[in-house]
A and B are shown apart, each in its own frame.
Chain A
Amino acid sequence: MRNTCLNQVHDLARKDPRILFLGSDLGAGTLQAFREELPGQFLMEGISEQALIGMAAGLALEGRIVYLNTIATFLTRRCYEQLALDLCLHKAKVRLIGSGGGLVYAPLGPTHQATEDIAILRPLPGMGILAPADATEMKRLMPATVDYDGPLYIRLGKGGDPVVTPNEPFVLGAPVVLRPGQEILLITTGTTASLALETADRLAASGHMPAVLHLPTLKPLDLEALKTYLAPMRAVLTLEEHHRTGGLGSLVAEVLAEEPFPFPKRFARLALPDAFAEGYGSQASLMAACGLHVDAAVAAIQRLLV
């Protein structure tokens, strides 16, 4: 997914001289072909994320569209004020590409795990938040980021994620139906789409027909469309590789609490607990240890149906 994303930046930059790529201190050889072909649009400026975001804002205010990539935690936790002031307050066209959304960097420990990025970015005025599910969606999504009027955050999954999204034009803000169904709605964002689909398969085996809805854009979000999908459902479960506060689950809870739906719904969130992840291992094993697995999702739904 990361390679698809960065190669898309290269393709877009070839067509649009306003586009710049800005990295901190990425892996040797990153975007080598881009650097050789378009040296005037490629910058690698050091482990100085705060200054990079201000600099990206300055470049954007002078007409550039800046794609800035480094590890997601360094962009979000470390640079929160720069995101708020340099980017959002100035409506700067900077696209933050956050490597390692969620528990991707499981073996590297909590310093590298972006587990509250969505929660802290959601309240920033004008900050768009994107979390695609797979590389093909990433490819469709990137052209839509060029002209967005303000800053955007693109949350990257690990790569090699199963392709689950339909080959339909990407519309910024629009929910994507991964599977139609009834009574039960599973809502996901980013790469937990495959977990949601596996959960749906398991539930189908016991006679249910759960729908699966994917939100590749968390902000700006077509709330009316989301309400339309929620309206006929009786049980709603959100699944996200993110802290249980402030992310997808909170977003859906806000809608459920405020919208006068014709009948009430049972609701639960499957998300990371309020703790730094213990242990290392693989992304999958750490997710399982944190309670993000099919059994937990199925059990959560079963509790809602009681």
Chain B
Amino acid sequence: MLDARSLALRRKVVETMIAGGRGHLPSALSLVEILRVLYDEVLRLDPARPDWPLRDRCILSKGHGCLALYALLQDKGFFPEEVLSTFCRPDSVLGGHPERGKVPGVEASTGSLGHGLPIGLGYALAGRLDRASYRTFVILGDGECDEGSTWEAAMIAAKHRLDSLVVIIDYNKQQSYAGTSEVLPLEPFADKWRAFGFAVAEVDGHDVPALRETFQVLPLAEGRPSAIICHTVKGKGIDFLERNLAWHHKSSLNSATVDQLFAALKG
């Protein structure tokens, strides 16, 4: 069962999507608990100073999940609530994929997949060179792990024993066309990350206490980057979206559907 905060964040996500008339809703809903625990309890951040040098860096590499990121950044005070209702408008800072320099708290412009981990690797290596204490978190989609650049960066991170780098995978088992097991199987997924030199944990990505517990013991191993595979449900929290491929790119909403979305998220 989702608690009140998880439901409230999901309502924010849905309201933002409706304001823009589009958005990757199921891909955002699988991320909510991951982002909630990170932003509530794990990341060292100061929303009043989004460029504070010692902040933890958090990159949403699966940029299409940005509805959830925007909800959390707004909730933490990086920008005012009314900004959410401008989503995807011509003059908005909030686009269908997040852009660094436009949205306070967004650490990298993402949208095309396979870019977040290489950039995060650069942040983490710079932190090592600067002897800075910040950590770098990169949230990957599972489909994104089809990209070779992700694995190139993983090898380099392991070579440098970058234990300040934490990869979090939203493993919702579905990509655009079909299940990951059908389009391009990732299993044995945890073994792959281990083989690439990462310390690996697996967790239910909607279980807030379990996420909290996992994130509190970072790095998972000294001298190794961490990979946390979060088992999630695409569309989590709205029963008729869950595991429903037709919703991945959904962009036209009638009022009956809008009512159903909110009804599903009543506390």
Chain A residues in the interface with B (C-beta under 8 A): 40, 45-46, 48, 50-64, 81-82, 85-86, 89-90
Contacts and interface: CB of A to CB of B under 8 A. Distances in A.
Interface of B: 99-101, 108-109, 112, 114-115, 117-127, 129-130, 148-149, 152-153, 155-156, 159
A288 B114 CA distance: 42
A86 B129 CA distance: 21
B157 to A, nearest CB: 9
Nearest to B147: A50
Contacts of B125: 55, 58-59
A48 B112 contact: no
Contacts, number: 92
Given A48-B156, A90-B108, A90-B109, A54 B115 contact: yes
A57 B122 CA distance: 7
Contact of A86 (B118, B124, B127, B148): B118
B166 to A, nearest CB: 15
A46 B118 contact: no
Given A50-B149, A55-B118, A85-B109, 7 more contacts: A52-B152, A54-B117, A55-B153, A58-B118, A58-B120, A58-B122, A58-B125
Contacts of A58: 108, 118-126
A64 B155 CA distance: 22
12 contacts: A45-B159, A51-B121, A54-B118, A54-B153, A55-B118, A55-B122, A60-B122, A62-B127, A64-B129, A82-B149, A90-B100, A90-B108
A64 B124 CA distance: 13
B155 A46 contact: yes
Contact of A51 (B108, B112, B127, B153): B153
A64 B126 contact: yes
A204 B109 CA distance: 54
Given A62-B127, A89-B109, A48 B122 contact: no
Nearest to A81: B112
Contacts of A90: 100-101, 108-109, 119
A53 B119 CA distance: 8
- What 8 A-B pairs have minimum CB-CB distances, sorted nearest first? A58-B122, A54-B118, A62-B126, A51-B152, A48-B152, A50-B149, A55-B122, A51-B153
Contact of B156 (A40, A55, A60, A82): A55
